[in-house]
Amino acid sequence: MNASTKTAIVTGASGGIGRAVAERLGRDGFAVVLNYAGNAANADEAVAELRAAGGQAVAVKANVADVGEIAGLFETTVRQLGGVNVVVHCAGIMPLRPMVEDQDLSLFDQVITTNLRGSYVVMAESARRLTRGGRIIAFSSSEVAKSFPRYGAYSASKAGVESLVHTLANELRGREITVNAVAPGPTATDLFLKGKSQAQIDELTNLAPLERLARPEDIVGTISFLAGPDGAWVNSQVLRPNGGFV
């Protein structure tokens, strides 16, 4: 790795916003480690595209909720690329949504394990491993401010992520490491579109004054800003690129 090259880990990078983030940071000059949980083919394809464009990239499989696997992700990054400067934690799930009164604890535990425990594990390892001046960027959701019916488990998990961001920012006092969250609104990815009828999609599309769903490329500029030199003074914040959704 060139001594001037910084390294970014992007979780959930095999598709959707995570892949778009990895591609943008690659264009910004970062060496990128693309973490994935299951879709190796997509992750390898993204790595090939980044390398073809002249960038440095590797794919590493790890379950974000598993302490040992995430430690291995960081160890692989340090071994192959020399250090970790930025972590963007995109990985998350949005499964079928029962009402709270249905008390579907199996689904609740699944969402909390991936979205909240996973964030805790990744952020904790980031705090241990990041170099001075590093950036930790987590993903929340603008749905937290809307509190739609049937999003109870998801909204609770993302509200927890926002709380972790503020707490960790305070815990890292004096180390020049910023901790922030990005909270998009409805975005046209498989994660968002899966299980929704066209009528539901149309309704959500029209909630923002700009009257369209976000595209992943609408979100990645905010990540680039937070990871780059102009974002150095932004800390313990939740940025909401959502077209006025809330």
Please list the active-site residues.
154
Instruction: Using alpha carbons, select from 210, 189, 209 the residue that is nearest to residue 201.
Output: 189
Alpha-carbon distance of 9 to 87, in angstroms, equals 5
Residues 6+ apart with CB under 8 A from 88: 8, 9, 10, 11, 18, 21, 25, 137, 139, 223, 227
Extended strands (E) in the chain: 7-11, 31-36, 57-61, 86-89, 135-139, 178-182, 238-239
- Residue 66: φ, ψ to 5°: -100, 115
SS3 of residue 131 by DSSP:
coil
- In DSSP terms, 111 is beta-bridged to none
Q: Are 222 and 239 in contact (CB under 8 A)?
A: yes
Instruction: Using alpha carbons, select from 21, 22, 28, 24 the residue that is nearest to residue 5.
Output: 28
